[in-house]
Structure 1
Amino acid sequence: MTTQISHINFDNCNFKSKSVIQKPLLDSFKENIEDFVEDCDVVQEGCVWKWEFVHKEGCIKRTVPLFILKEVVDDSRHKSGEDPFCIYCSYSGCNNNVVSRSKYHFVIPADYESLEQQLDDPFDKDDHVFKDRTHLLHGLLHINGIGHLICINGIDGGSAFIPGRDIMHLWDLLCLYFRARKITVRDEACKTFRHISLIDGVRETCEGAMVTRLLFSVAFGSTWFGRWGYTFLRGSYGVSRDTYTTAIESLGSHPLTEVEEIVEKYKKKSLTPLECMKDLLSFMLQMRCGTRGQKKMDLNKDLWTVYDKVLMRRKNHVQTILNCKVFCKEIPLRQMSAECLTVTFVVRDADDNELPGMVGCECTTLPVNDVADLKGRVTRLIQGTYHALSNFTITEMEGEGTDELKENMWVKGDGADMDCNYVAEGGRGWLVTCICGAEDDDGEDMVECDTCKKWKHIECLINDGFKLEDNAGFICLECSTPRH
């Protein structure tokens, strides 16, 4: 059942829009974002806009600008030496998706003044806005609604005053508001801590870093992003969802005999029993959120002890979890109002074959009593979204000629150019065959065999006894073994 909803608002978020949102956005992501930026403050005509928010923390309010940057994927970018394809699609399993004609970047910079100077030419290769990993928020949405959360940096990551959870909540609402379809994130965050103690009258500082997705997976069964609905998408080195789940359950149920002193300390403060690793870690992480000063340092020290002395010694299960970095959230289509109907449609060729690389159903929204321009609207949407379909012409549409709109339908047509330069978002067309079982690019370092042109994980080769030298050729075991 679809949910009736008029619009997404920011009432329950610590960010508030300084400008009044005049109307709900009801259409596809492409139609929504193009309609929305018309009312935004223009920074660079046709490609950069600014949307100002106020962030409130307690009684303190600060203005925070969100920049929306449109990146057009075309031959001019390709000829200038820039890669027109999407590296984030490559490692998230979307590398075979048909290339979108443009994408929108949503950026909250750490240094507003520095970014505004770069916005005169945001695509300058020597000073690229999109390569900066210090942004408080950088999210990317392709014009077809498929997107990637590239980075979030809260207080632990360099923000002066905005917690990461507030930034994440804003990003989640933006995705809902503009009607994104699927968002991926590569979680490689570490939580750093510092503990200062007196040893023989001398102040000693201890610093460490704990992998956040390991802590949260064991404590809560999902990563930090799980509270916003992000779930396992794919593992590196051939790790499956079942293997990932088994590792989490095994570590979570591990007994606490090695840290009994720490358990005694915290079970006095807990309202529920602390019987296994999952219980202890979840309690300590929840307690950490409301702790400040020396108490937080002491808690960090205890957390590090559990992490280093217990978790990290279960190497196999730990490595399985560490090899799972890519998570995703799929946002179901919603019927936005009683007056309009969201129509989803599958694109097929004239021979009734679904086109390869299409990401499921496309969608648009029309008044329930207006079917006259449906064919034209769907045609414009398809042509404006994908490079390979820029000359696509609809020859047949389900329900064509009737006065009734259906929620799900198909369209057939001619003109798809599946041989153009912009068919697959991954672009590279790697053939991966590794001993770990991986058959696709997962974002880990690989090397190509000079003979068979198949790619292998460098780490897997080293673990298997191969010695790889810089600037030297590589021939895999299958190609170097004599055949009789």
Structure 2
Amino acid sequence: MSDTCKKRKTKHEKCYGLESFLQPGCPVSLSGPFRDNVRAFLDECGQAVDYNVDGMMIWCTFLYHENRGFVFPLYTIEECVQNSLQPLCDHCRCSGWSHHFVSKRKYHFIIPNDKDWNKRIDVGVLDLQTHLLHGLIHCNGFGHLLCINGIEGGSSFVYGREVMDLWDRICTSLHSRKISLVDTSKKREMDLRLLYGVAYGHTWFGRWDYKFYSGSFGVTKDLYDKALEIVSSLKLDTLIRDRHYYSIKKMISQYRDASDTALVTIRELFRFMLSLKYRIPQKKISIDLNSKSKEKSEKCRKFSKLAAKLDSRWQVSRLENVANVVVNVLKERKVRPVKGNSGMSRQEVRDSARLYIGDTGLIDYVLKSMNNVIVGEYVVRRAVNASTGVLEYSLIEFDQYEESFDQVDSETSESDVYKHVSYLYQRVLMDSVSKIVEGAVKTILDSKNFTKEWPFNDAADEYLRFISRMVPLVGTQMRKSSVGELIVVPLHATVLDLKIEIEKAMRDTYCIMENLKVREIVELEGVDEDDVIFGMIESGSEIMVRGFGVDLLTASDLNYEGGEDNWIVNCQCGAGDDDGERMVACDLCEVWQHTLCSGIDDDEAVPPLFICHRCCNSIGPQKCTKKVARRGLKDWMMLPVVTETRVGLLY
């Protein structure tokens, strides 16, 4: 399959099985900190290639798939930040680690896309999103999973879960400390953090213990957990009772019949449906899913969502108000039809709406947009009356709109199951008319930052281990408490030995520590440097260190991963730190806030002069730009509590 890989493998004696590689003790057992372990790993498992990219050294490790026999490369690229074009780490900044000192080295672990297995690593390799794996780990053990792709991501040979298993073993065996990721994974246009969150209570990455770390737009863990609880606990009987959609009701009923256990909530239904892909074709299910309805539904949209995307000089709330007036006018005509006709011409609707809306230009603008749109419980349709040849507006209740289509039977395959999952995902989750559910879904989708942390482990061996943390000297300020470093010394080490090892570790890890000279260890203050530390401080404890040679007062590009500028984030959504979303700084107070929360759409350019709503209000409310509220779960938590959540399944 991979001739070049096989030829290159013959130059290097070692080739490792994909599933066994970096299992405990295979091929090495590592007990030190990441900065030392990664070097030992490259010495044992890597073969330095005979070229470099932008001055970066590259090692190659060959892996073979035990079951399918193909060989592929795992590259490790060492990026020295002193020579890097991008020495600072944007991923740290967006992960809440802006206060981390700049690490001297970054290690990139890359498995290229299938088609690149036989090619040399080229310039720009660190910027590609097509790799099967791209993980970055700083030499202090903190890192980021940047890219993972399996069969659905373009590979013809390797599954995503196999790549993820490998990445997890790399991090574990090398003693990584914390790895972050931004979860934007999708399957057939469905966001997996929402689908898996509802079905399993965690994201796809949750299988490997990645947990919620921070949300965008001020979302906290409590809000995230509450949102998952609200959506996943929706009762199927409530769905059927609240919305008598034939295809939804039929689908729920037949999946219930196929299940060996009772399906009560939407979580149980989704989980059962996703499990079927492992049992098909042993267990076939016949599901009535309306293909015509699906075709029609793509053209039928909620007016509120349509209005939000229109490039209009009127506010969305005014457009929605006119749409509600039009529906009320059509409802009156439906109750009192003229000569058996419940439709109304454009002029008739316009004249009736003018009794409530004075702006005829606004009415005309809304009427132009109203065709197959959903407003509340109804669908507004626009069609030519076959008898009169006049274009008319008519109203139909949404459940009647869906049930008006014929049904077609299809024997369920894995592909069909995902079609059904996608169908329910869109109707139940994305198009809910329940404000509580809508807010909960938005909260889940705004939660993208997840991390996995490996706890400190003090092995039972002949070494002492400490977490060494720098304490600023009097008159010196640090943004936050510094990241502690793992220090390993033998049992017979003296106080002086420990100081030397701390200096060595810090100098090797951080640019700012290049000239560090440890003055004292707080826990050993007053102890002679020649005294053995065994018995004085417990192995596995944290020690506080003071020293000279760390100049935090002098501006430097290589002090903090977030850069020298100490940005202030204070957005009306509650965000107090950079969360990776687009932001803009106020030209008066210089405080950063989200563009979306400031009324600037993602596809809209930031104005040359931007004044935030706080400064604008202090100048004069009449001059203030519109304040846009993002309706996440926390906005709806102020609503009156209802005993039963009403859920709408909309096209």
- Fold shared per TM-score above 0.5: yes
2:180 corresponds to: 184
Instruction: Sort the Cα spacing of 1:108 and 1:315 in 2 relative to 1 into closer, same or farther, 3 A.
Output: same
The residue identity in structure 1 corresponding to 2:586 is C
1:311 corresponds to: 429
1:27 corresponds to: 32
1:444 corresponds to: 581
Deviation of 1:396 after TM superposition, in Å, equals 1.5
Check if 1:299 corresponds to 2:417.
Answer: yes
Alignment of 1:53-452 (within 5 A): 53-56=63-66, 59-74=67-82, 76-77=83-84, 82-111=85-114, 113=116, 116-119=119-122, 124=123, 128-192=124-188, 209-256=189-236, 257-258=239-240, 259-289=248-278, 291=280, 295-312=413-430, 313=432, 314-351=437-474, 356-357=479-480, 359-371=482-494, 373-397=497-521, 398-399=523-524, 400-405=529-534, 406-407=538-539, 408=541, 409-418=543-552, 419=554, 420-427=556-563, 429-452=566-589
Which segment drifts farther, 393-402 or 408-417? 393-402
Q: Secondary structure at the match of 1:364?
A: strand
The residue identity in structure 2 corresponding to 1:373 is D
Deviation of 1:319 after TM superposition, in Å, equals 0.5
Check if 1:477 corresponds to 2:485.
Answer: no
Check if 1:48 corresponds to 2:70.
Answer: no
Q: Secondary structure at the match of 2:461?
A: coil
Q: Is the CA contact (8 Å cut-off) linking 1:349 and 1:414 kept in structure 2?
A: no
Deviation of 1:15 after TM superposition, in Å, equals 5.3
Deviation of 1:321 after TM superposition, in Å, equals 0.3
Q: Is the CA contact (8 Å cut-off) linking 2:22 and 2:173 kept in structure 1?
A: no
Q: Is the CA contact (8 Å cut-off) linking 1:86 and 1:426 kept in structure 2?
A: yes
- Give the distance between the partners of 1:273 and 1:147, measured in 2 at CA: 43
Instruction: Sort the Cα spacing of 1:170 and 1:37 in 2 relative to 1 into closer, same or farther, 3 A.
Output: same
- Aligned-residue CA RMSD (Å): 2.9
Please list the CA deviations of residues 217-249 of structure 1 after superposition, one character each: whole Å capped at 9, or x if unmatched: 111111111111111100100111111111100
1:14 to 6, 15, 19: 19
Deviation of 1:91 after TM superposition, in Å, equals 1.1
Deviation of 1:260 after TM superposition, in Å, equals 3.2
Which segment drifts farther, 440-449 or 422-431? 422-431
- Give the distance between the partners of 1:248 and 1:36, measured in 2 at CA: 40
Please list the CA deviations of residues 268-311 of structure 1 after superposition, one character each: whole Å capped at 9, or x if unmatched: 34333210011111222233355579611110111011101111
Deviation of 1:429 after TM superposition, in Å, equals 3.4
Q: Is the CA contact (8 Å cut-off) linking 1:17 and 1:54 kept in structure 2?
A: no
The residue identity in structure 1 corresponding to 2:590 is K
Q: Is the CA contact (8 Å cut-off) linking 2:73 and 2:117 kept in structure 1?
A: no
- Give the distance between the partners of 1:337 and 1:33, measured in 2 at CA: 22
> Where do 5+ consecutive residues of structure 1 fail to align?
1-10, 193-208
2:291 corresponds to: none
Which segment drifts farther, 253-262 or 272-281? 253-262
Deviation of 1:98 after TM superposition, in Å, equals 1.2
Q: Secondary structure at the match of 2:120?
A: helix
The residue identity in structure 1 corresponding to 2:249 is E
1:36 corresponds to: 41
- Give the distance between the partners of 1:325 and 1:467, measured in 2 at CA: 21
- Give the distance between the partners of 1:271 and 1:339, measured in 2 at CA: 55
Q: Is the CA contact (8 Å cut-off) linking 2:114 and 2:156 kept in structure 1?
A: no
Larger Rg: 2
Instruction: Sort the Cα spacing of 1:253 and 1:362 in 2 relative to 1 into closer, same or farther, 3 A.
Output: same
Q: Is the CA contact (8 Å cut-off) linking 1:17 and 1:52 kept in structure 2?
A: no
1:5 corresponds to: none
- Give the distance between the partners of 1:433 and 1:152, measured in 2 at CA: 33
The size of the alignment, in residue pairs, is: 442
Q: Secondary structure at the match of 1:285?
A: helix
1:6 corresponds to: none
Q: Secondary structure at the match of 1:395?
A: strand
Q: Secondary structure at the match of 2:443?
A: helix
